[in-house]
Copies of this chain bind each other. A is one copy, B any other.
């Protein structure tokens, strides 16, 4: 068969990794793909930059959109990133030109995925995005193909390596968020502006994609409830540990009778659950299906190698002619299940207050919980410092988010409660 000619737009760490991997494992890739796969064109901003790649004989486009118009390019690999601008324009142009597309762009898929999926379907081209979620772990393939016979009830993931690294280090060293973030930035595990990662937006993009695939419905990023990890303290990690939990930033999507619930926030996870032990920059995805039961996939969620592994797997699928609808089923076969809001959530909560250590304080707090119909499972208070602020931890039984919010409002007006309470949901218990 003829060589499959590929154009790569974006030559950052991942783009360079893809070009390098296709050369390094050329024979393996050709055997698996049934064809040679060759990068014939690239596009990036800085031609002069040394990327350690031999790009002799490869056409260079300053304008990525020209790459999409190159008649010699059969597959466009979009590694520019971002939901808008060049990345989006390139993907639309490539589909418009009838080319196959591979992308690692979770923001684009989370926000414009329904539109883009519809265009790809209408044009009869593949839009592959294994690299968009959990790096080299073949989780898109697992949900879209490997578990396709199941009714999936739940998907849970550690989807952001930066957050998991920060939380792991905070626990190991008893250090606070700001200190570990600064270190992660020095090591290149966190961006100069870390908000995309630490505020949970990146994880929410990925969860929106997983939820769409798991439940067979259009991607709904704006319905994902998002909280990040900035307010997690060393104190809470230490209390969680004492109670037999790890604090993890999880993406959780569930099918409920009322619709699909999707949320990203810090969670207390029992240490006995396998996902609690996924540490550092590793990602993991747990899926529960009616036939398969619970499965978990774990590996590196980012970096040049893992991401290139996913992009090349997509290229091999395209070379073999293995085609799958963007969202697992044709657009018309997707379900119209509504999203449910966070207020409807039921679960147990960890609540940590800073209270003035004097008689009657605990009685006031527990009365506020009782008045909101929240029942208490455990309480921890170690320090004594009469007249000063000490931490008190309360663990609730199952309650609703709405009742918990009502209790917090009642607690907020107590003058013995100092600082804003720390409230963390307990999951997978």
Contact = CB atoms under 8 A, between A and B. Distances in A.
Interface of A: 17, 21-22, 24-25, 28-34, 130, 135-138, 141-142, 144-151, 216, 274, 277, 289-300, 305-306, 308-313, 315-317, 320-325, 328-330, 333-334
Given A145-B316, A149-B21, A312-B149, A136 B321 contact: no
Contacts of A22: 149
B274 A313 contact: no
A300 B296 contact: no
Nearest to A332: B31
Given A25-B291, A141-B145, 10 more contacts: A21-B149, A29-B148, A29-B149, A30-B333, A135-B292, A136-B291, A138-B138, A149-B312, A277-B277, A291-B309
B28 A151 contact: yes
Nearest to A138: B146
B25 A295 contact: no
Contact of A137 (B144, B295, B323): B295
A257 B28 CA distance: 17
A138 B142 CA distance: 6
A298 B298 contact: yes
A25 B299 contact: no
Contacts of A150: 25, 28, 309
A69 to B, nearest CB: 27
Given A34-B330, A293-B305, A148 B299 contact: no
A333 B35 CA distance: 11
A148 B216 contact: no
Contact of A292 (B34, B145, B300, B324): B300
A22 B338 CA distance: 26
A328 B135 CA distance: 22
B317 A145 contact: yes
A284 to B, nearest CB: 9
B25 A149 contact: yes
Nearest to A134: B295
Contacts of A317: 145
Contacts of A28: 148-151, 216
B296 A292 contact: no
Contacts of A320: 323-324
16 contacts: A31-B216, A31-B333, A32-B329, A33-B148, A136-B289, A136-B295, A138-B147, A142-B142, A145-B317, A145-B322, A149-B308, A289-B309, A291-B309, A295-B300, A296-B296, A297-B298
Contacts of A293: 136, 299-300, 305-306
A17 B144 CA distance: 21
Nearest to A333: B31
A144 B31 CA distance: 11
A32 B321 contact: no
A232 B290 CA distance: 35
A31 B329 contact: yes
Contacts of A311: 149
Contacts of A330: 31, 34
